[in-house]
A and B are shown apart, each in its own frame.
Chain A
Amino acid sequence: MITSFLAKALGRNIVITVAILLALAALVPALNLLTAPDHPLHVPTYIVSLFGKYLTYALLALALDLVWGFCGILSLGHAAFFALGGYAMGMYLMRQIGARGSYGNPLLPDFMVFLNWKELPWFWQGFDMFWFAALMAVLVPGLLAFVFGWFAFRSRVNGVYLSIITQAMTFALLLAFFRNDMGFGGNNGLTDFKDILGFNIQSNGTRSALFAASAIALALSLVVTSGIVRSKYGKILVGVRDAESRTRFLGYRVEHMKLFAFVVSAMMAGVAGALYVPQVGIINPGEFEPANSIEVVIWTAVGGRGTLIGPIVGAILVNGGKSVFTAAFPEFWLFALGGLFVLVTLFLPRGIVGTARQFFERRKEYRKAKAVEEARAFAAAEPQAAE
């Protein structure tokens, strides 16, 4: 009964996806930890951490879909929120190293020691506590999105102008975090993590737990976004996307609508970043690269913009493809990836999920139409026969 209620609130596809994600969250760690390495069903740790990473990417793409797919805000700076969340988590992990760093300094991370920092800068305070870091991973991106969105949406910065200034934002952050004077480890970023919440970050158990956490976070976010999208508010968002001025003339405060979606999306991206960092073991300014944000847009577009499930499929597919191609054709994989983007835009303009959905709908419509036609033909045949 609960299922049927959820299905109504969320849509059947979402429920199925959430169920799959939750099943994966339970099954994959179990298969990794409980089966012997030579068991046919064993999932190697390599796959666990790889797919754990993909799931965080999927969460990032989902976050972008909320603003781009449903609200028409093409953010070319979403990786910035992801990276900020990552940095918050990275700072916690750095503080956890404690005196186990190269120089054995109990308070200062290694990079601060050899750049002669004498005390911990104020913005590093509190990050030794997990709850604080976790809070910051959500709050900092949210706050940045709020400030940025507040100004941008109030000034009615739109379309490509908005895209370009989000790009300027992530580029400025890239340069800022790149500076060693900022106190975030410069180009090397934060690395050499030892443990998280007391568990060794390299152990299979921790990896499996992180995988499960990523899957669950993705499932939860899917429920939340789906809830937003299907609510009355969601309908207005789509209205904003399709005809902003008209929605405004109808009396809605468009900028508030947009701001809310933007902030929620940035927070989701922050969570994704926070889950990403312990799984890859490093966070550095490279994550702010404008190219990374563009890639997120591409995952979303490949999977299908405005479908919620599409971005997840897109992120996993494109990144999986990248993983396979960079090993299988190290010299030519860019041709494959570039070709994929061109072909998808040309032949699957709604993305994979969008196109599939369209196909099913068309078939349904076709059947319906056919049934109607047959009925009509039948109806038309009757009087003829009577004549």
Chain B
Amino acid sequence: MSIKARATGALLAAILSTTAFHGAFAADDTIKVGILHSLSGTMAISETTLKDAMLMLIEEQNKKGGLLGKQLEAVVVDPASDWPLFAEKARELVSVNKVSAVFGCWTSVSRKSVLPVFEELNSILFYPVQYEGEESQRNVFYTGAAPNQQAIPAVDYLMENESVERWVLAGTDYVYPRTTNKILEAYLISKGVKPEDIMINYTPFGHSDWQTIVSDIKKFGSAGKKTAVVSTINGDANVPFYKELGNQGVKAEDIPVVAFSVGEEELAGLDTGPLVGHLAAWNYFQSVDNPANAEFIKTWKAFTKNDKRVTNDPMEAHYIGFNMWLKAVEKAGTTDTDAVLDAMIGVSVPNLSGGYSTMMPNHHITKPVLIGEIQADGQFETVWETPGLVVGDEWSDFLADSKDLIADWRAPMSCGNFNVATGKCGGKGS
């Protein structure tokens, strides 16, 4: 008699019984929404907030009467910042819990890990974080910013308003910074910046000793030309980076740092006094002054029972994505994936920066771009914004291999990487 067999049997039974347990709820009285954000591990620091935001949005919607006459039910799982576990949990949400849509992921690698699952099981993922682009998948809606909705306007702002001529592109060595920096490098050179006036620097995840790099930045900035730093440094490493900047006396007035991954949440762990004037580019700031945002912030503070909790851009992305999904489901009259996928394109909902965001055929959305300066109270003050909305550009025009590609998921084309030069849908290998 093997203990293993017994143990396996017991475990199988346990899993099957949880399946049955969840299955019992799957009766048609609720519509289930999956929430796939890490609640432990390295990414918990950013993702837990999004889980809470989703729970709040679902609760609010239920107060308004739910969807299609049914209540919404959130299914929360913890993929624990473990990328293969993301795929396992996504599969569990879709095939065991039978959720109608999943809101989740933060890092690119977690998204890449779950993509095949959503494709195979034909379900829907809403991805709320700014990312590197170069992707458009049938089952994914990208509600965060593509590089053209964040990076390029920020660089434009610095060139025009601060007459920056010399650039430090500093990032964590992963795909988002790499791609963004490639795009920016090509863009800057097309604007007449000399290659020797661009310095690119990559650091490991969670880098905490920034002395050398900050002093390199100071050195690079002492060539007599106005210098700025474009930071794609990832979440956790930012606090020590900014602390070092502040302590080494790099002032925003001398060498401004514009960041794409630093929001209100990251600043909450910092004394922002020495950082006033450093910049960030987002599509939303908590400080945006309009009634919808005020209401959102109020609800959020009440929901978390914490007056100090801040809101940030990915939360707004979930807000937009969730409302778009609600609208599309209502339009389709069902939560059936194919019908919702069709109904999503063209759906337009209010965003929190005072306008409307629309889902485009490439599964990216239109957004305003805001440039904000860090204030002493840890908030951003908008110093510039795009006059209109910017359409997310999934395949960058500044990369040689992607400039000919477009994505359009509407009926005849239905392709995520259509090559306009050859007239073929690349992904189908024809």
Residues on A lying within 8 angstroms of B by beta carbon are 13, 16-17, 20, 44-47, 49-50, 53, 98-105, 110-111, 113-116, 175, 178-180, 186-189, 191-193, 201-202, 280-282, 284, 286-287, 309, 312-313, 316-317, 320, 322-324, 326-328, 330-331, 333-334, 352-353, 356
Distance A326 CA – B36 CA, assembled complex (angstroms): 11
Please indicate the chain A residues that have their CB under 8 angstroms from the CB of B251 in the complex: none
Please indicate the chain A residues that have their CB under 8 angstroms from the CB of B119 in the complex: 202
Given contacts A103-B401, A116-B182, 17 further A-B contacts (CB under 8 A): A20-B4, A114-B401, A175-B204, A179-B202, A180-B173, A180-B174, A180-B178, A186-B178, A188-B175, A191-B116, A192-B115, A202-B116, A281-B117, A282-B83, A320-B14, A330-B76, A330-B77
Contact A46 B429 (CB under 8 A): no
Once A20-B5, A175-B204 are accepted as A-B contacts, the answer to whether A187 and B174 lie under 8 Å apart by CB is: yes
A-B contact count (CB 8 A): 178
Contact B401 A45 (CB under 8 A): no
Chain B 98-131, CB-CB to A under 8 Å as 1, else 0, gives 0000000001110011011101100000000000
- A47 and chain B: residue at smallest CB distance: B15
Contact B174 A320 (CB under 8 A): no
Contact B112 A280 (CB under 8 A): no
Distance A323 CA – B77 CA, assembled complex (angstroms): 10
B11 within 8 A of A: yes
Closest chain A CB from B242 CB (angstroms):
22
Distance A188 CA – B84 CA, assembled complex (angstroms): 11
Contact A309 B178 (CB under 8 A): no
> Which B1-18 residues have C-beta < 8 A from chain A?
1-5, 7-8, 11-12, 14-16, 18
Please indicate the chain B residues that have their CB under 8 angstroms from the CB of A186 in the complex: 173-175, 178
Contact A286 B3 (CB under 8 A): no
Once A175-B204, A202-B120, A280-B84 are accepted as A-B contacts, the answer to whether A188 and B108 lie under 8 Å apart by CB is: yes
Once A178-B173, A187-B173, A189-B109 are accepted as A-B contacts, the answer to whether A102 and B405 lie under 8 Å apart by CB is: yes
- A45 and chain B: residue at smallest CB distance: B95
Chain B 136-173, CB-CB to A under 8 Å as 1, else 0, gives 00000000000000000000000000000000000001
Among B109, B205, B416, the most chain A Cβ lie within 10 Å of the Cβ of B109
Chain B 10-37, CB-CB to A under 8 Å as 1, else 0, gives 0110111011000000000000000000
- A276 and chain B: residue at smallest CB distance: B84
Contact B134 A114 (CB under 8 A): yes
Chain B 239-267, CB-CB to A under 8 Å as 1, else 0, gives 00000000000000000000000000000
- A106 and chain B: residue at smallest CB distance: B429
B270 within 8 A of A: no
Closest chain A CB from B233 CB (angstroms):
14
Q: List 7 A-B contacts (CB under 8 A).
A: A17-B2, A47-B15, A102-B135, A104-B427, A187-B107, A187-B109, A316-B11
Contact B401 A99 (CB under 8 A): no
Q: Pick the residue among B19, B178, B179, B417 that contacts A102 (CB under 8 A).
A: B417
Q: Pick the residue among A179, A201, A313 that contacts B3 (CB under 8 A).
A: A313
Closest chain B CB from A212 CB (angstroms):
16
B58 within 8 A of A: no
Please indicate the chain A residues that have their CB under 8 angstroms from the CB of B96 in the complex: 44, 46
Closest chain B CB from A278 CB (angstroms):
11
Closest chain A CB from B375 CB (angstroms):
32
Contact A280 B87 (CB under 8 A): yes
Among B2, B18, B134, the most chain A Cβ lie within 10 Å of the Cβ of B2
Distance A362 CA – B377 CA, assembled complex (angstroms): 68
Please indicate the chain A residues that have their CB under 8 angstroms from the CB of B14 in the complex: 320, 324
Once A186-B175, A324-B18 are accepted as A-B contacts, the answer to whether A50 and B4 lie under 8 Å apart by CB is: no
Q: Pick the residue among B91, B174, B399 that contacts A188 (CB under 8 A).
A: B174
B82 within 8 A of A: yes
Please indicate the chain B residues that have their CB under 8 angstroms from the CB of A105 in the complex: 401
Closest chain B CB from A327 CB (angstroms):
5
Distance A282 CA – B428 CA, assembled complex (angstroms): 21
Distance A278 CA – B149 CA, assembled complex (angstroms): 35
Q: Pick the residue among B2, B112, B417 that contacts A282 (CB under 8 A).
A: B112
Distance A16 CA – B2 CA, assembled complex (angstroms): 7
Distance A139 CA – B346 CA, assembled complex (angstroms): 53
- A15 and chain B: residue at smallest CB distance: B2
Contact B15 A320 (CB under 8 A): yes
> Which B61-97 residues have C-beta < 8 A from chain A?
76-80, 82-85, 87-89, 91-92, 95-96
Chain B 178-205, CB-CB to A under 8 Å as 1, else 0, gives 1100100000000000000000001011
B419 within 8 A of A: yes
Closest chain B CB from A172 CB (angstroms):
12
- B21 and chain A: residue at smallest CB distance: A328
Distance A192 CA – B95 CA, assembled complex (angstroms): 20
Distance A2 CA – B82 CA, assembled complex (angstroms): 45
B39 within 8 A of A: yes
Contact A187 B401 (CB under 8 A): no
Distance A105 CA – B417 CA, assembled complex (angstroms): 12
Contact A103 B179 (CB under 8 A): no
Contact B7 A316 (CB under 8 A): yes
Contact B135 A286 (CB under 8 A): no
Distance A252 CA – B91 CA, assembled complex (angstroms): 52
Once A188-B109, A191-B112 are accepted as A-B contacts, the answer to whether A317 and B7 lie under 8 Å apart by CB is: yes
Closest chain B CB from A36 CB (angstroms):
16
Closest chain B CB from A215 CB (angstroms):
11
Distance A98 CA – B426 CA, assembled complex (angstroms): 11
Contact B429 A100 (CB under 8 A): yes
Once A282-B84, A316-B7 are accepted as A-B contacts, the answer to whether A114 and B405 lie under 8 Å apart by CB is: no
Contact A192 B109 (CB under 8 A): no
Please indicate the chain B residues that have their CB under 8 angstroms from the CB of A46 in the complex: 91-92, 95-96
Please indicate the chain A residues that have their CB under 8 angstroms from the CB of B411 in the complex: none
Distance A320 CA – B18 CA, assembled complex (angstroms): 12
Distance A13 CA – B6 CA, assembled complex (angstroms): 13
Please indicate the chain B residues that have their CB under 8 angstroms from the CB of A16 in the complex: 1-2, 5
Contact B109 A178 (CB under 8 A): no
Distance A277 CA – B175 CA, assembled complex (angstroms): 21
Contact A309 B115 (CB under 8 A): no
Contact A324 B15 (CB under 8 A): yes
Q: Pick the residue among B19, B88, B117, B182 that contacts A115 (CB under 8 A).
A: B182
Please indicate the chain A residues that have their CB under 8 angstroms from the CB of B95 in the complex: 44-46
Distance A115 CA – B79 CA, assembled complex (angstroms): 29
B383 within 8 A of A: no
Contact A333 B109 (CB under 8 A): no
Distance A330 CA – B92 CA, assembled complex (angstroms): 14
- A304 and chain B: residue at smallest CB distance: B3
Please indicate the chain A residues that have their CB under 8 angstroms from the CB of B120 in the complex: 202
Please indicate the chain B residues that have their CB under 8 angstroms from the CB of A331 in the complex: 39, 78
